[in-house]
Amino acid sequence: MIIPAIDLIDGTVVRLYQGAYDKTTEYTFSPFTLRDSYAKAGSPLLHVVDLSGAKDANKRQIALLTKLMTDSPLQIQVGGGVRREQDVMDLLAAGASRVVIGSLAIREPELVQCWIRKYGGERIVLALDVAINAQGEKTLPSHGWIEESGVTLEQVLDGYIAAGAKHVLCTDISKDGTLTGANVALYRELSSKYPTLAWQASGGIGSLADIQALIGSGVAGVILGRSLLEGKFTLEEAIACWQNA
């Protein structure tokens, strides 16, 4: 599945470079126009990130997100700033198909595992984004990639699988926003090692060839952000590339 993405800061569509808030590109597109155009192109799912909320819980854009998800022509998975069960409840009540949980999934895995048991694995997406160090370890920065957690990807996955987790969005931070291609080897490894999880690949897609490279890697979905916003190819072309493999 091809999954277009919209990142929002204070209502503006943006993209960050490798997760850095001081390397932000703003776009003039309305998130509502993008949502509708992506639906028209044939995408069944939209990925939305509240970057304001990810950085500061007091700045969560719940009103905008609610408006974006109300009567949406496609399903929406949304994350950013999810720190309490009430946040999960609010987003699901506002129309989210799935709630994406990042930093908290790393810092308080037992709590998030309880939510997966309560709401079901189909309603929660774990955003376990990795920074691969010199030793090849897949470490998991938290708080919107601002802080090091000291935790590795493998250390948290077994508990989540036991809890019933089904969806994991994994970004190689070094690839994010670069348009230099995805870390295909990473996704092949993860999909092979953890076949019960539906992996969403994110970061680095800059051409249709980069999408083609992920075919056969085992990933269930490919997140597209900057490449669509900057017209590297159309969403229709991306979907055709993925489906016609």
Q: 98: pLDDT confidence band, cut at 50, 70 and 90?
A: very high
CATH of the domain at 207: 3.20.20.70
Q: 151 lies in which domain range?
A: 2-243
Compute the distance between CA of residue 161 and CA of residue 121 in angstroms, rounded to an integer: 9
Kindly list the distances between the CA atom of residue 133 and the CA atoms of 150, 170, 174, 200, in Å, as whole numbers in the listed order.
11, 16, 10, 21
Q: State the catalytic residues.
A: 7, 129
Question: Residue 149's pLDDT is what?
Answer: 55
The pLDDT assigned to 36 comes to 98
CA 245/CA 235 separation, integer angstroms: 16
Per the CB < 8 A criterion, the answer to whether 34 and 193 are in contact is no
CA–CA separation, 66 vs 59, rounded Å?
A: 14
pLDDT score, position 11 = 93
Greater confidence (60 vs 6) lies with 6
Question: pLDDT tens digits, residue range 148-192?
Answer: 657 889 999 999 999 999 999 999 887 777 788 899 999 999 999
Choose among 169, 167, 201: nearest CA to 184.
201
Please tell me whether residue 14 adopts helix, strand or coil conformation. Answer: strand
Write down the pLDDT at residue 146.
Answer: 46
Contacts of 106 (CB under 8 A, 6+ apart): 128, 140, 142, 149, 151, 156
Give residue-wise pLDDT tens across range 12-31. Answer: 999 877 667 778 889 999 99
- What pLDDT does 145 receive? 46
Phi, psi of 145 (to 5 degrees): 70, 15
Count how many domains the chain has.
1
User: pLDDT of 99-153, one tens digit each?
Assistant: 999 889 989 999 999 999 999 999 999 999 888 888 888 888 765 444 565 788 9
| Sign, CA torsion 126/152/204/200 | negative
Instruction: Please report the pLDDT score of residue 138 as a whole number.
Output: 87
d(CA 185, CA 103): 24
Cβ proximity of 200 and 219 under 8 Å: yes
Statement: residue 245 has pLDDT above 80: no
